[in-house]
Amino acid sequence: MSEKLLMHTCCAICASEVTVAMKAGYDPIAFFSNPNIYPEDEYIRRRDAMRLSAKKNDILLFEDHYDRNDWLKNTSPFANEPEGGKRCALCFALRLRRTADFAAKKGINKFTTTLSASPYKDEVLIREIGRKIAEEKGLIFIDPIIGRDKKTAWDQAMKMTREEGYYRQRYCGCEYSIRPSANKG
Ligand code: SF4
C-alpha cells in the first residue's frame, strides 16, 4: 500500500496531470485550500471543477474554509506588487502552511502542491517555501515537478483539461490579478 500524500490543489487544471503522476508513487489525498480566489462565484467554479477531478481520479478531497479575511489581512499590504512578487510568495506560504497543518492533523507526513505545475508560477520559489514549512512542522515536502519536464507535464495537463471539460480560469485568482495583462493560472 502506497504512503499517503496530502496534495494541495489550486485548480483542476494543475491537479489533472499532477494527480496521475503522484498516484504512481503515493496515495494522494486532495486538499482544496484557496482563500485567495475572488470573487466567491469564481471560487465555487474552481472548487466544483476540483470536485469533478477528484471524482474522475478516484481520490479523496477535503475542502478548507474559504477564509478571505485572513488572506486579505496578510496580503493587502502588497496589493500593488506585480504578479510573482512578494504578495504571491505570501499567498503560496499561506496556502502551504494550511496544507501542512491539515496534513499533521490527519497524521500524514508528506504534502505537495499542484501550484508548481503552472507555467505562470515559480516552482523553485514554491519548493523553497514548501521545504521551509515542512522543516518547521517536521513534515516532508514533495515537489511534484522535480525530475520531470514541466512543459511536457503542462501540455499533458492541458490535454486532460480539454478531454474532461474542466473549467479554465482567466486569471490567477485574487482581485489583484484581475488585470488585462495578468497571467491565467
Ligand atoms: S496573483 Fe495569484 S499567487 Fe499572486 S497573490 Fe494573487 S492569487 Fe496569489
We report the CATH number of the domain holding residue 120 as 3.40.50.620
Distance 3 CA to ligand 1 centre (A): 31
**Assigned domain for 71 exists:** yes
**Assigned domain for 122 exists:** yes
**Assigned domain for 68 exists:** yes
Best mutation site among 96, 174, 183 for ligand 1, i.e. most ligand atoms within 8 A of its Cβ? 174
Which ligand 1 atom is at minimum distance from the Cα of 121?
3
**Assigned domain for 40 exists:** yes
Which ligand 1 atom is at minimum distance from the Cα of 85?
4
Q: What is the pLDDT of residues 128-177, one digit of tens each?
A: 999 999 999 999 999 999 999 999 999 999 999 999 999 999 999 999 99
In short, whether 87's Cβ falls inside 6 Å of ligand 1 is yes
Q: What is the pLDDT of residues 6-54, one digit of tens each?
A: 999 999 999 999 999 999 999 999 999 999 999 999 999 999 999 999 9
**Assigned domain for 131 exists:** yes
Cβ atoms of 102 and 62 within 8 Å: the answer is yes
**Assigned domain for 69 exists:** yes
pLDDT higher than 90, residue 184: no
pLDDT at 179: 72
**Assigned domain for 182 exists:** no
| R_g (Cα) of the chain, nearest Å | 15
185 confidence band (pLDDT: 50, 70, 90): low
Number of independent structural domains in the chain? 1
Element (H, E) at 140: strand 140-141
**Assigned domain for 184 exists:** no
The residues, any chain, with a CB within 8 Å of residue 180's CB and separated by 6 or more, are: none
Domain with 70, as residue range(s), is 3-177
The pTM for the full model equals 0.96
Cβ atoms of 142 and 5 within 8 Å: the answer is yes
Which ligand 1 atom is at minimum distance from the Cα of 75?
5
In short, whether 176's Cβ falls inside 6 Å of ligand 1 is yes
